[in-house]
Structures are given as structure tokens and as C-alpha cells.
Amino acid sequence: MIKGIDKKLSYQPAPILELNDTRLNGLDLHLLLKCEYQNHPFISGNKWWKLKYNLEEAQRLKKETLLTFGGAYSNHIYATAAAAKELGLKSIGIIRGEKILPLNPTLAFAESCGMRLEFLSREDYRHKTEEVFIKQLHNKFGDFYLIPEGGTNELAVKGVTEFASSVLHETEFDYLCLPVGTGGTMAGMVIGFEGSKTILGFSVLKGGEFLNDEVKKWSGHSIDNWSIVEDYHFGGYAKTTKELEIFITEFETQHHVPLDQVYTAKMMFGVFDLVKKGVFKKGTTILVLHTGGLQGRSTREFNF
Ligand SMILES: *Cc1c(COP(=O)(O)O)cnc(C)c1O
């Protein structure tokens, strides 16, 4: 008897708030925030939806172990470890870079969930998608259900598509804004909205042009009223600046909504900057998706 079979992750429906931000004073614009970061205490935001059907598939295949990849601060590693624990599955996290002790809060949490951590040099880590390498992992760890780095695959996109449909029934809006890492979440929203809304994805990476191809690849090319905004990466993935930190403090004080510096703050900053530049027409309603990631908030890397 395998423990994980038929168990499902708990889920807490998250509200949509209207943000009456002082920066919108005098403008005929509505800003709504879908607080998806509140959907689960540990498997929060988009990661819950990206894992949903992968976990079902792992259970269907009677896998006892999940194996996935990520950096030392990865929200995906954190969420996968928590999900495995909740469903009674084992988990292995292949972590990019050397092991540094004491473990940072992300990895300490993952380990406390029972995740086995294996550290790989950056050089070796590059081979993570190669067949030979995966075979070596199977030789070492036995049978497992593999989830790629960042959690993006077809089943992840399917989960987000389901979320997108539910959002459509919840409220009226014109634009959806969200942060983009691999493009999997954005692709799911594109499919789920079927072209009925304009989607702006804010790249959190420097050199995010490739995300256009990723979103196209996962969403199937036929819908095109979306774009990737590349102007708000603040120096690159997980980099931050004094300006971004000041923005976070100011936003949190005004709205009592926490932002993380890796994803949600960059997007939110970008949204207000586009508002300032007059990108949105009068009467527009912008729905912002808070994708979670707050576990990484305590470990800020400064860039000044
Ligand atoms: C992982 C993550 C993203 C990026 O999602 P992708 O599907 O990889 O684009 C965005 N926001 C948060 C908070 C995340 O943890």
C-alpha cells in the first residue's frame, strides 16, 4: 500500500482585493489583486497549480518519490518538499551549487519536510535535462517521478489553465499582469483566457526574449494578445536594487500586502511604471496576480 495514493493538497480560495493606491489618484483606472499567495501556507501561489496535476500523475503511476531541481532559494524546491510531505511521498531535491552550511531557510525547510538534498556543481547541473544524466539519477536513487526545474511541463500548464478559468468567473477585468520565470504559468493563463483578456508577463530575468518562444511553445501558438515586458528585471534573476527595496516598503505600508523581491515586486513596480507612462486607457481594469514566493522574502540579495 502506497501512502500518497488519492490524497489531495489542501487549498484555500484566495480573495481579490481592490488596491486604492495613491499613484492612481485622479486616473480612471482600477487595480485588482488576486491574492493567490494565500492559497496554501507552504505551496503557495502558482506553484500549487503547477504541482496539482503532476502530483496526481505521480500518484496514478504509483511513484513513491518525487525528484526535482532548483537553486538554493527556489520557491519550487520549497513547494515540492512541502507537497511531498503533505501527500506522504518521498522527495529528492537536486540543488545547483555547493552545499553551504548552515543551510539557508529555504533548504532548511525543504530538509525539514524530509526532502533529500543533493548538491551539484554548476557545471554538472547544466546536464540536468540530458537523458544520460537522468539515467544516472535513476541508477543512484531508484524509481522517481521527475518534475523539471521550475516545475514547468504540460501538466503544470494544465493546472494553471484550470486556475485561469476560475479567475474568469470571479471578476471582470481587461488586463492580467503576472511575473514570469520560465513562462509556464503565463502559458496556462493564455490558454485559460482563450484570448478574452490581454496578458502582460513581466520577465524577472535579464535576457528574457526567449520567454516569448517558451510561452508560444506551451500555449500552442494560436493566441497572441499577450506580451512579455522586459524592462523590470532590476539587473537579473534574484537581483535587487535600493529603488526596488524602497518600492516594496512603500507598497507594503500602503496596502498591507507583502511582496517578494524576486518576482512579485518587480512585476508590481512595472505595473505602476506602465500606469505612469499612460499605457492603460481610461476605464481599464487591471488584474494583478500575486503568484506567492514569500518564503524567499527574508533572503534579499542587494545589488548596490
Ligand atoms: C516560480 C514563480 C514564478 C514564475 O513562474 P513560471 O511559471 O516559471 O513563469 C512567478 N512568481 C513566483 C512567486 C514564483 O515562485
Average pLDDT over residues 20-48: 97
Ligand 1, residue 179: give the atom nearest the CA. Answer: 10
Mutate to test the pocket of ligand 1, among 176, 248, 263 (most ligand atoms within 8 A of CB): 263
For position 249, which CATH number holds? 3.40.50.1100
Average pLDDT over residues 239-264: 96
Does 216 fall in a domain?
A: yes
Residue 300 confidence (pLDDT) above 50: no
CB-based burial label for 103 (10 Å; 0-12, 13-18, 19+): middle
Is the same domain home to 197 and 281? yes
Residue 87 confidence (pLDDT) above 50: yes
Q: What percent of the chain has pLDDT over 90?
A: 94
Edge-to-edge strand ranges of the sheet holding 16-18? 16-18, 30-34, 285-289, 175-180, 198-203, 226-229
Helix-helix angle 46-60:154-170, to 10 degrees: 130
Distance (Å, rounded) from C-alpha 190 to C-alpha 223?
7
pTM above 0.85, yes or no: yes
Determine whether the shortest distance from the Cβ of 188 to ligand 1 is under 6 A: no
Contact status, residue 4 vs residue 64, Cβ threshold 8 Å: yes
Does 241 fall in a domain?
A: yes
Is the same domain home to 184 and 263? yes
For the chain, report the end-to-end CA distance as a whole number of angstroms.
Answer: 54
Does 5 fall in a domain?
A: no
Query: What phi and psi values does residue 199 have, to the nearest 5 degrees?
Result: -115, 130
DSSP letter assigned to residue 42: S
Is the same domain home to 162 and 220? yes
Number of domain units in the chain:
2
Q: What percent of the chain has pLDDT over 70?
A: 96
pLDDT tens-digit series, residues 182-197? 999 999 999 999 999 9
Residue 9 confidence (pLDDT) above 80: yes
Rg (CA), the chain: 19
Mutate to test the pocket of ligand 1, among 180, 264, 266 (most ligand atoms within 8 A of CB): 180
Residue 301 confidence (pLDDT) above 90: no
Is the same domain home to 169 and 286? yes
pLDDT at 42: 97
Average pLDDT over residues 35-52: 98
pLDDT at 4: 44
CA 68 / ligand 1 centre spacing (Å):
15
Residue 302 confidence (pLDDT) above 50: no
CB-based burial label for 273 (10 Å; 0-12, 13-18, 19+): middle
Is the same domain home to 294 and 205? yes
pLDDT tens-digit series, residues 97-149? 999 999 999 999 999 999 999 999 999 999 999 999 999 999 999 999 999 99
pLDDT at 220: 93
Does 29 fall in a domain?
A: yes
pLDDT tens-digit series, residues 168-184? 999 999 999 999 999 99
Is the same domain home to 205 and 252? yes
Determine whether the shortest distance from the Cβ of 70 to ligand 1 is under 6 A: no
pLDDT at 3: 52
* Host domain of residue 170: 16-42+153-298
Q: Binning pLDDT at 50, 70 and 90, where does residue 298 land?
A: low
Residue where one domain finishes, among candidates 151, 180, 212: 151
